[in-house]
Chains A and B, each alone.
Chain A
Amino acid sequence: MKTFSIGGVHPHDQKLNTEAPAKVLPLPKQVCVMVSQHLGAPSQPIVAKGDKVKVGTVLTQNDAFLSAVVHSPVSGTVNKIADIPDASNYPKPAIFIDVEGDEWEESIDRSPEIKREITLDGPAIIQRVKEMGIVGMGGACFPTHVKLMPPKDAKAEFLLLNGVECEPYLTCDNRLMLDHAEEIMIGATALMKALNVSQTIIGIEANKPAAIKHMTEVAAGFAGIKVQPLKMKYPQGAEKQLIKALTGRAVPSGKLPINVGCVVDNVATCYAVYQAVQKNMPLVQRMVTVTGPEVPEPTNFWARFGTPVSEFIAAVGGLPENTGKVISGGPMMGKALCSDEASSVKGMSGILILPEKQAHRREVYPCIRCGKCVEACPMGLEPYLIASSAAVKDFGLTEKARVMDCIECGCCQFTCPSNRPLLDCLKIGKATVGKIIRARNAK
């Protein structure tokens, strides 16, 4: 079975609810839709207080190339535009909408049957993907239409679908592949048409045998789509590692996947592309895993964007008594939340509730130079060296130690027997060195 070659760790996968069917989260009374839910230039709201909106009404505007619009996930009245903390815990502008009924824009096809025939041509598909506000749903929120328009000197050869879900606890992609395999395949076919490529490889880790089996069966009916089971290893879902595992190609430092002829999309993104291209449905909801070791019934919810975290928590029976940490995303790369006010966004794949005893950082010992971080780093870096040089502000050495190659996967800190805050220091180093490099290039 394939996997990537350098480094990686094996966290306990903790997939607590692989069997449970997905539920639809009831509409909350009020949603808070974050104005900017993508990587790139921030958007501006184009609705005002008192405006009536339907599901699918465009809420924001942005003329930048690297951007994505946001559609109203509910129908109702705009209550206000105010700041609420997002997953970064900082207050960011959000559109508060009081929910009234569930009325959709007429242009959206809500019929349950699966539409297999793709009538749009390539450029029209890309245009549709852009209009429907689709971004990468693995967590980075990179606008998908940008990926579909490779620079002139690069040619895509492969479409790679990420069904790896290497983060422990999260199961939403697994559920999606079991429930909507055919839609994912049609979405992939549309993406292939847009990119003008003939091969798609779907990477799925071995801990999801049911998904591998089901997806392989469904893929047999589609030309050019292949399912590739992968050995379990974190961080296989990282773009560079996934490309390495599936195609054997290595994206050089500072380059993009397209430079080695690959375009990588998450299976959830692919499903959203299907909805957009075939059903004209904007991205207004996603599957969110609400889980945790002490959560009585971990569940995957279909939820509209803007649903407050508190609603998700209430839907699984409230916070367990001993909750110590609530994380947006998975335990390896997710962000700890300060409060349950934050609302769901396009990139939020899960809400992880950790009990008190698992919430704390462990006591830090001196570095014993065991080299386990070097062994674990999937980019072949020396985290101990980068972290210590960044901690003493020797950013020249930090840069020379290739900090900019760091993908912030957290393997080094996960494996460190001295519990050192390696990734914390690496991130400081990466941010500072990034600034230094930009200043140098600006000169």
Chain B
Amino acid sequence: MNVTIIYAIVLLAALGLVLALILYVVAQKFKVEEDPRIDLVSDALPGANCGACGKAGCRAMAEAIVKDASLTGCPVCNEENIAKIAEILGRVAEKSEPRVAVVRCQGGTCNTTPLVKYEGYQSCAYATSVFPGEGGCPFGCLGLGDCTKACTFDAIHVNPQTGLPEVDPDKCTACGACAKACPRGVIEVRKKREKTGRVVVACVNKQKGAAAVKVCKVSCIGCGKCAQTCPKQAITVENNLAYINDDLCVSCQLCVRACPRNAITVLPKEKLRPAPAPKPAAAPEAPAAPAQA
């Protein structure tokens, strides 16, 4: 009995020793010299492997960052991440403004009248090849949630009440996967503007006025009133559709009030300032409504 136990112990110990030796030798022989900073940068990255940077994963991105330049190559990184990476690499963090995905459609089930009923594969990419949309708008959101499926961060969901996707700005990392997944280009990644709110033309309909009015209650008809109102010339009207240049916009919200179709909105909604009193003296910089959501 005892002999058996001793044999077993000796045998296992010897076996372990020999195998450990082999492992050590092999590990030494096939060692790959690697920049130790790659591991550190890799840890500092968000680690979601979302693919938004266009690399195979976060590790590939880390290698790229260590090797060449831009610290903002990862669109998901927040300032904290970037500062950390800058520290590791001994570089100066470039300033980047936080960004967020914006859904540029208000049609849904609330502002359009469904004329037909779609059945079949629940994918916007397919549905768009079959018909313009239940409400008839050939440009607007289809509400079947390709963006939700594309989101790695659980930040965009179709609201069953409105039939429209809603972005959770706290979870959204502006990776742009939803914008890429949307077959109609409804989603755009824009500056977050947490203090002033994001002013966007929430419509992508390029039809002429009458046709755009027919399909949706809040469609842009390309009338150009917003462009005339804008003090910064940030708004252009092309193909019957207004577009606000994100770099020029100062969130003054004058266009929101000028739009006869309510197609321009402020996100989040609480940032919408009440219209100033009819007196022209009323300062446009009136304090914003309380930011509490």
A and B: bona fide binding partners: yes
Q: How far is the CA of A431 from the CA of B130 in the complex (A)?
A: 13
**In chain A between 379 and 408, which residues have their CB closer than 8 angstroms to a CB of chain B?**
391
Q: Measuring CB to CB, which residues of chain B are less than 8 angstroms from any residue of chain A?
A: 115-116, 119-121, 123, 125-126, 129-132, 136, 138, 207, 211
Given A83-B211, A90-B138, A91-B207, is A336 in contact with B130 using a C-beta cutoff of 8 Å? yes
Binds B, one of A16-24, A130-138, A245-253, A421-429: A421-429
Other CB < 8 Å A-B pairs besides A421-B121, A431-B129, 14 of them?
A: A83-B211, A90-B132, A91-B138, A91-B211, A338-B132, A339-B115, A360-B119, A361-B120, A391-B123, A421-B120, A425-B121, A427-B126, A427-B129, A428-B125
Asked if B131 contacts A424 (CB within 8 A), the reply is no
Which A residues touch B129, using CB under 8 A? 427, 431
Q: How far is the CA of A325 from the CA of B119 in the complex (A)?
A: 11
Asked if A338 contacts B138 (CB within 8 A), the reply is no
Q: How far is the CA of A427 from the CA of B127 in the complex (A)?
A: 11
| Interface SS of chain A | mixed
Candidates B119, B123, B132; contact of A89 at CB < 8 Å: B132
Q: How far is the CA of A432 from the CA of B119 in the complex (A)?
A: 21
- The count of chain A contact residues (Cβ–Cβ below 8 Å) is 19
Complex A-B: 30 CB contacts under 8 Å: A83-B207, A85-B132, A89-B130, A89-B131, A90-B132, A90-B138, A91-B132, A91-B138, A91-B207, A91-B211, A336-B131, A338-B115, A338-B131, A338-B132, A339-B115, A360-B119, A361-B119, A361-B120, A421-B121, A424-B120, A424-B121, A424-B123, A424-B126, A425-B121, A427-B126, A428-B121, A428-B123, A428-B125, A428-B126, A432-B125
Expressed in whole angstroms, the minimum distance between the Cβ of B214 and any Cβ of chain A is 10
Q: How far is the CA of A90 from the CA of B215 in the complex (A)?
A: 12
Contact with B along A135-158 (1 / 0, CB 8 A): 000000000000000000000000
Expressed in whole angstroms, the minimum distance between the Cβ of B221 and any Cβ of chain A is 15
Which B residues touch A85, using CB under 8 A? 132
Q: How far is the CA of A336 from the CA of B130 in the complex (A)?
A: 8
Which A residues touch B136, using CB under 8 A? 338
Which B residues touch A335, using CB under 8 A? 130
Tell me the nearest residue of chain B to A425, going by C-beta. B121
Which B residues touch A360, using CB under 8 A? 119
Expressed in whole angstroms, the minimum distance between the Cβ of B89 and any Cβ of chain A is 33
Q: How far is the CA of A91 from the CA of B210 in the complex (A)?
A: 13
Which B residues touch A90, using CB under 8 A? 132, 138
Tell me the nearest residue of chain A to B122, going by C-beta. A421
Q: How far is the CA of A432 from the CA of B123 in the complex (A)?
A: 14
Q: How far is the CA of A421 from the CA of B115 in the complex (A)?
A: 23
Which A residues touch B131, using CB under 8 A? 89, 336, 338
Max chain A CB contacts within 10 Å: which of B120, B126, B130?
A: B126
Which A residues touch B126, using CB under 8 A? 424-425, 427-428
Expressed in whole angstroms, the minimum distance between the Cβ of B144 and any Cβ of chain A is 12
Expressed in whole angstroms, the minimum distance between the Cβ of B115 and any Cβ of chain A is 6
**In chain A between 82 and 139, which residues have their CB closer than 8 angstroms to a CB of chain B?**
83, 85, 89-91
Expressed in whole angstroms, the minimum distance between the Cβ of A150 and any Cβ of chain B is 31
Tell me the nearest residue of chain B to A89, going by C-beta. B131
**In chain A between 319 and 345, which residues have their CB closer than 8 angstroms to a CB of chain B?**
335-336, 338-339
Contact with B along A73-89 (1 / 0, CB 8 A): 00000000001010001
Q: How far is the CA of A89 from the CA of B133 in the complex (A)?
A: 9
Q: How far is the CA of A85 from the CA of B211 in the complex (A)?
A: 12
Q: How far is the CA of A233 from the CA of B126 in the complex (A)?
A: 28
Which B residues touch A391, using CB under 8 A? 123
Expressed in whole angstroms, the minimum distance between the Cβ of A362 and any Cβ of chain B is 10
Which A residues touch B138, using CB under 8 A? 90-91
Tell me the nearest residue of chain A to B138, going by C-beta. A90
Expressed in whole angstroms, the minimum distance between the Cβ of B182 and any Cβ of chain A is 14
Expressed in whole angstroms, the minimum distance between the Cβ of A279 and any Cβ of chain B is 39
Q: How far is the CA of A83 from the CA of B116 in the complex (A)?
A: 20
Q: How far is the CA of A391 from the CA of B132 in the complex (A)?
A: 21
Tell me the nearest residue of chain A to B127, going by C-beta. A424
